[in-house]
Amino acid sequence: MKGGTKLMIVAVIVTGLYAWFGNSIPQSAWDAPKKKVLTPDMTPKKLAEEGREIFRKAGCGVCHSITGEKLRGADLSRVGAERDAETMAFMLYSGTDVMPAANKPPANLNDSEITALIAYLQSLGGKPKVKIGDIKPPQGMGDVSSAQKPPSQKEAGK
């Protein structure tokens, strides 16, 4: 039995040393990327500001310019005046041959984020008008079917 105790002491010392070393180097936890909380009481203007951030982060600017310049995708500098919210929503949810849908990877936005994005797009050459809840995903394209939720948990129609 005495041998067993000795063994355990060695084990505690060795694992303790590793844990000490692990704690001695500077620490940083990795936090999951925060999803912005977007609530229905946010004004369209506020929503548009969040949308600008989403536009940047989601990588829209890789193809779309907002300055009138022609990149790979359409120029969006006046999109707010040219398209209504429903058209934008349809484009974003369904994507095209060359543009991945916004609710699927790589952008992988949820319904509220897409609404905010639309508010931002409306602000380009126009005034943001939509609020959270105004934009309904086209039939069967909402974020319930996206990567966020497994198929068994569909809450379609909500």
Q: Which amino acid is at 90?
A: F
Say how far apart CA 51 and CA 11 lie, in whole Å: 54
Tell me if 157 contacts another protein by CB under 8 A. Answer: no
Q: Contact 101/94 with Cβ under 8 angstroms?
A: yes
Tell me if 105 contacts another protein by CB under 8 A. Answer: yes
Residues 6+ apart with CB under 8 A from 110: 35, 103, 143, 146, 148
Tell me if 61 contacts another protein by CB under 8 A. Answer: yes
Kindly indicate which of the ranges 58-66, 86-94, 119-127, 129-137 contains the residues binding another protein, using the contact rule CB under 8 A. Answer: 58-66
Q: Indicate which single residue of 39, 71, 127, 138 sits in contact with another protein (rule: CB under 8 A).
A: 71
CB of 58 to another protein, least distance (A): 8
- Where does this chain bind another protein (CB under 8 A)? 2-4, 6-8, 10-12, 14-16, 18-19, 21-23, 25-33, 56-57, 59, 61-62, 69, 71, 104-106, 145-148, 150-153
